[in-house]
């Protein structure tokens, strides 16, 4: 009887793990409606940095990336009247809300170990970054990495920062992983002067390429 219970428990654990969506297996330009249109998990979102539309969730227990499992986590600043809150979340970006074709994703990880594990996994998979800026001094980290992965047609941009809370008595390393389809371009705000946009493009025809924008963060 004990062996049966142990076997049954093992099956439940394996089933739970297998039910996770592996973000690494998602293909750009594929229809991911079956994942993102579950309104009990996702809300519609727009990323102002990249002018992308997509979906966001804090219920990241349902996801993993490769062999790195993700878990829901919220860290609050307990200082009186403080509104600071750090929450792990996942944003999945699409071409539009009708076709829901994948163009990228951003994983915000406030679990320090999970963030370190995912960075380590990416380094193993992708090799030497195109650009990197590593700062790690006096127990403070502020680092960033950029890969131009032509093999998988993706850009991978990872940042890690030490965050402090509870009057700087506590800290943790926050990780943000951005994975985007290569070749994406930013859409200039409609309020911009067309002549100004033209001047920018005359000086640099690739000025609105996402890759160029990410590169600029290292200079």
Share of residues in the chain with pLDDT > 70 (%): 88
Domain ranges of the chain: 22-183
* 27-76 pLDDT, tens digit each: 999 999 999 988 889 999 887 677 789 999 999 999 999 999 999 999 99
- The answer to whether 216 and 190 have CB atoms below 8 angstroms apart is no
Task: Find the range with the poorest average confidence among 111-125, 132-146, 181-195.
Answer: 181-195
Rounded to whole angstroms, the Cα distance separating 163 from 151 reads 34
- Mean pLDDT for 122-151 is 96
pLDDT of residue 192: 67
Q: Which band of pLDDT confidence, cut at 50, 70 and 90, is reported for residue 205?
A: confident
pLDDT of residue 190: 62
Rounded to whole angstroms, the Cα distance separating 112 from 60 reads 15
Helices (H), the chain: 2-18, 33-36, 112-126, 194-203, 210-216
| CA angle at 162 for the pair 156 and 166, rounded to the nearest 5° | 140
Rounded to whole angstroms, the Cα distance separating 21 from 18 reads 8
Report for 7-16, 72-81, 173-182, 204-213: range of highest mean pLDDT: 173-182
Give the pTM.
0.87
pLDDT of residue 122: 98
DSSP 3: H
pLDDT of residue 4: 41
pLDDT of residue 17: 45
Average pLDDT, the chain: 88
pLDDT of residue 13: 39
- Mean pLDDT for 139-150 is 96
Rounded to whole angstroms, the Cα distance separating 154 from 97 reads 21
- Mean pLDDT for 119-141 is 95
φ/ψ region of 23 (left if φ > 0, alpha if ψ in -120 to 50, else beta) reads: alpha
Length of the chain measured in residues: 219
pLDDT of residue 15: 38
């Amino acid at each position: 009887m004990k062996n049966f219970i142990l076997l049954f428990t093992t099956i439940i654990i394996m089933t739970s793990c297998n039910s996770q969506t592996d973000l690494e297996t998602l293909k750009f330009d594929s229809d991911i409606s079956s994942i993102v249109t579950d309104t009990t998990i996702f809300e519609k979102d727009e990323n102002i940095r990249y002018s992308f539309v997509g979906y966001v969730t804090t219920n990241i227990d349902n996801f993993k990336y490769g062999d790195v499992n993700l878990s829901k986590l919220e860290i609050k600043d307990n200082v009186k009247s403080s509104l600071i809150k750090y929450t792990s979340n996942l944003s999945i970006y699409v071409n539009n809300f009708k076709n829901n074709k994948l163009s990228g994703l951003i994983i915000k990880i406030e679990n320090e170990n999970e963030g370190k594990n995912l960075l380590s996994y990416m380094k193993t998979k992708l090799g030497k970054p195109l650009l990197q800026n590593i700062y790690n001094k006096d127990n403070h980290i502020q680092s960033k990495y950029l890969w131009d992965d032509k093999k998988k047609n993706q850009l991978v941009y990872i940042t890690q920062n030490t965050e402090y809370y509870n009057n700087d008595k506590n800290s943790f390393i926050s990780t943000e992983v951005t994975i985007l389809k290569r070749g994406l371009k930013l859409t200039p705000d409609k309020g911009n002067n067309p002549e100004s946009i033209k001047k920018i493009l005359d000086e640099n025809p690739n000025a609105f390429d996402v890759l160029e924008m990410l590169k600029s963060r290292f200079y």
